[in-house]
Every structure is written in structure tokens, then in C-alpha cells.
Amino acid sequence: MGIISRGFGGRRREPQPGLPPGQYLTHDFPVLSAGPTPRIPLDKWNFSIVTETGEKHSWNWAEFTALPAEEFTVDIHCVTKWSKFGTTWKGVALDTLFEDVESAADYTMAHSYGGYTTNVPLDDLLDGKAWVVYEFDGEPLHPEHGGPARLIVPHLYFWKSAKWVNGLQMLNDDEPGFWETGGYHMYGDPWREQRYQGD
């Protein structure tokens, strides 16, 4: 426990099951990104998985949205301290995208329009743990929130859920992405408060 802040009571003391340490609950949907919001026309959109041997699997918008999709509801936790419960998304499970991918690599780097990258271990993307989504709350995903499509990895801090995602590069070794290079944690588990390097 830290030092006591004289005269600080705190307001949000209702116990909140489902809220990781250091987080507070919000009902709006804050936006976090490092630059302007890219606008990607759907006829230019493409998503690909590139293995460590250079083999490429790719989908255009029509192909992607024709894949079996799932609707799911999850809690999300942003490293800037807000959490939002019960967000509903629709998209394609990574299990579906990896069905025909042959790879022995354990790590991935997600790439986005605009140049953003973030690293996620492959295990954290499979077995129903992650999706590439294109709807939020029954509506097409707004560009501010990562549309046309974004990654959703709800069990990690939300910066791992790359907005405007356009591909995954398989890697034999874990490498830092954009925020990770700036001092954020390589893995980012909100339940262990892995905000920054060394946490």
C-alpha cells in the first residue's frame, strides 16, 4: 500500500466485481490513439496474416465479412485507468483466420493503417480469446474506435486491441510494438497491473 494522501477519501468505493486493480468504471467510450484517425475506404481495405516463412493469407472486405462471424460481449480495460463493462462486438474469431495457417512461431505483431503496431503472443489470440471486429453495438465500427476493423483481445489492456488493424506478422521472438517501445508493458495483463515495463 502506498503512503496515505492526507484528506483523500475517494469517491468510487462501491466494490466492483470485475474491475481490475487501479481501474475505474466509465460509461462513455473514451478514445486513445497516437495520431489522427485514419479513414480507410472499404474497397481499399485488406487484412493479412504473414507467417515467419513469408507465406501470406489475405482477405479483402467482401471475403472477410463473408467469413463466419460471432457476436460477443466483453469487458474492456484501458491502461489510462478506465474500464467499460459489457461491450458488444461482432467479428471474426482469430481461430477462424488461423485455420489454414501453418506456423511454428509463438509471437505476433499486429499492424494497422497509420503505422501503429502492437505485439501479442499467439496463444493469447487463439481458443476464443480474440477477434477482428467490424461492428460495435450493432453498428458498423466508427473510425474513431478503430473502424473499419480492429483487433479485440479483451483479457489484455486495450492498447493491445489494435485499431484499424490490417494484418498480423508471425514472429519467432517477441518484439516491442509502438507503445511497448515507449515503455509500456510487453504483455499487458490488467489483472496483474502490467502497465509499464517491469510491472
Partner 1 sequence: MKNRISWRVATVTAARWETSSARTLVLDVPDWPGHLPGQHIDVRLTAEDGYSAQRSYSIASAWSAEAGSPDAGTVELTVQRLDDGEVSPYLTDVVEPGDRIELRGPVGGWFVWREKQTAPVLLIAGGSGVVPLMSMIRARGLARGRQPFRLIYSVRTPEDAAYADELRRRVREDPGLDVHFVYTRKTPDGWPAPPKRIDVATINSHGWPPDFQPDCYVCGPTAFVETAADILVALGHDPKRVRTERFGGA
Ligand X SMILES: Cc1cc2nc3c(=O)[nH]c(=O)nc-3n(C[C@H](O)[C@H](O)[C@H](O)COP(=O)(O)OP(=O)(O)OC[C@H]3O[C@@H](n4cnc5c(N)ncnc54)[C@H](O)[C@@H]3O)c2cc1C
Residue number, 28 or 173, with CB nearest to ligand X: 28
Q: Does 81 bind partner 1 (CB under 8 A)?
A: yes
Q: How far apart are CA 57 and CA 100, in angstroms?
A: 9
Provide the pairing of β-strand 131-136 with 82-93.
Answer: antiparallel
- Out of 19, 20, 25, 38, the residue judged to bind partner 1 by CB under 8 A: 38
Closest CA to 136 of 29, 40, 19, 27: 29
Contacts of range 195-198, beta carbons closer than 8 Å, 24 or more positions apart:
195/22, 195/79, 195/157
Q: How far apart are CA 122 and CA 103, in angstroms?
A: 10
Q: Does 11 bind partner 1 (CB under 8 A)?
A: yes
- Out of 53, 58, 73, 80, the residue judged to bind ligand X by CB under 6 A: 80
Q: Does 7 bind partner 1 (CB under 8 A)?
A: yes
Query: Grid cell 486495450 — which residue?
Result: 158
Q: How far apart are CA 16 and CA 51, in angstroms?
A: 41
Residue number, 134 or 184, with CB nearest to ligand X: 184
Q: Does 73 bind ligand X (CB under 6 A)?
A: no
Residue number, 73 or 197, with CB nearest to partner 1: 197
Q: Does 115 bind partner 1 (CB under 8 A)?
A: yes
By the criterion CB under 6 A, which residues form the site for ligand X?
Answer: 26, 28, 80
Q: Which residues bind partner 1 (CB under 8 A)?
A: 1-13, 22, 24, 28, 30-38, 80-82, 114-115, 144, 178, 181-183, 195-199
